[in-house]
């Protein structure tokens, strides 16, 4: 079993000017995900998901559905208690390097996003690497979308008003699902929201070379993630997980957040530029003095503003494209 490897005091940490509300994340620097760390984190996060209550006034219900190759996966459906019909839907795909479970922070953040936007949310517990490498998690998430379509009457949603969202690796899965929906079903999501997403397996951007010791995520972890996720190859589907080499025509209006001190920053910006070059509307928010995974500091004003803007985007009221 691998040991947990973290940065020692002898390692030189660059003087990142992190926002004061996010400085609690500073100690969370690692060189590698270990098997032990994955097991412990997933055990804790998995239990927390079942016991976490959504925002007051909302219900959470668990469904067992058919994932990729008819294997069973679970989804959580979040909706308002006092509403029998939420016409708009949101498919949410959590981050975690394709190998860590979603957390209570994810559930609370999603329930807050849909509280004011009157969406019904489907939160997917897709299968994780390294046991289930690419494309299993992606196909599980696509299956969850099909389940939403097939159960639109039970859920009370309009299938033409479904958005998709995800953070980090979940952002990667979101784009991948949007491309699968375009190619297999000739359909499109109403909109797409990406928070500090994983975009490019080549890892060639300046920020990828620059940020090898940043809190929460860094280029060393990123390299390890791709090795684990693609350990069995790409099955001829590389463009459904590495998007700077993909045809992005037909993707929906997109909201994207990137963080200043994040190795994923530049590929997120490049992705936004590629979408705009195709005439796709993009609303960008580049978070200064922020690190990857800042949603973890859930009760801060920093995150409150992020959730407010995400909600406005879902409502179609965030029209500017300023950074």
The radius of gyration of the chain from alpha carbons, rounded to an integer in Å, stands at: 18
Distance separating alpha carbons of residues 297 and 112, to the nearest angstrom: 14
Q: Which residues are catalytic?
A: 168, 262, 292
Please state, in angstroms and as integers, the Cα–Cα distance from residue 73 to each residue in 62, 93, 144, following that order. 10, 13, 9
DSSP output for 87-155 = -EEEEEE--STTTS---HHHHHHHHHHHHHHTEEEEEEE---TTTS-TTHHHHHHHHHHHHHHHTHHHH
DSSP β-ladder status, 58-66 and 5-6: unpaired
Helix boundaries (H) for the chain: 35-51, 104-117, 136-150, 152-155, 169-180, 206-210, 219-229, 265-277, 301-314
Distance separating alpha carbons of residues 293 and 24, to the nearest angstrom: 12
CB 178 within 8 A of CB 252: yes
Sign of the Cα pseudo-torsion (239, 245, 249, 255, in order)? positive
Distance separating alpha carbons of residues 183 and 181, to the nearest angstrom: 6
Q: Which two tokens stand for residue 242?
A: 């590495």
DSSP label at 56? T
């Amino acid at each position: 079993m691998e040991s947990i490897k973290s940065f020692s005091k002898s390692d030189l940490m660059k003087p990142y000017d992190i926002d004061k509300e996010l400085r609690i994340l500073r100690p969370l620097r690692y060189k590698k995900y270990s098997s032990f760390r994955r097991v412990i984190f997933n055990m804790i996060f998995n239990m927390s998901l079942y016991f976490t209550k959504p925002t007051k006034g909302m219900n959470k219900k668990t469904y067992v559905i058919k994932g990729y190759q008819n294997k069973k996966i679970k989804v959580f459906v979040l909706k308002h208690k006092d509403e029998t019909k939420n016409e708009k839907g949101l498919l949410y795909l959590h981050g975690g390097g394709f190998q860590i479970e979603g957390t209570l922070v994810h559930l609370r953040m999603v329930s807050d996003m849909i509280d004011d936007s009157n969406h019904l949310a489907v939160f997917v517990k897709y299968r994780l690497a390294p046991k289930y490498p690419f494309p299993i998690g992606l196909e599980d998430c696509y299956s969850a979308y099909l389940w939403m379509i097939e159960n639109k009457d039970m859920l009370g949603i309009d299938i033409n008003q479904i958005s998709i969202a995800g953070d980090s690796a979940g952002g990667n899965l979101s784009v991948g699902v949007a491309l699968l929906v375009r190619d297999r079903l000739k359909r499109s999501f109403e909109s797409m929201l990406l928070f500090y997403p994983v975009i490019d397996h080549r890892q060639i951007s300046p920020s990828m070379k620059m940020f090898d010791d940043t809190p929460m995520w860094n280029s060393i972890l990123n390299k390890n993630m791709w090795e684990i996720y693609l350990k069995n190859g790409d099955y001829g589907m590389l463009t459904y997980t590495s998007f700077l080499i993909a045809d992005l025509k037909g993707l929906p209006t997109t909201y994207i957040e990137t963080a200043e001190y994040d190795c994923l920053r530049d590929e997120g910006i490049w992705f936004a530029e590629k979408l705009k070059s195709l005439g796709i509307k993009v609303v960008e928010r580049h978070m200064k003095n922020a690190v990857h995974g800042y949603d973890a500091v859930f009760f801060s004003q920093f995150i409150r503003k992020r959730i407010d803007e995400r909600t406005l985007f879902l409502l179609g009221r965030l029209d500017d494209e300023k950074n």
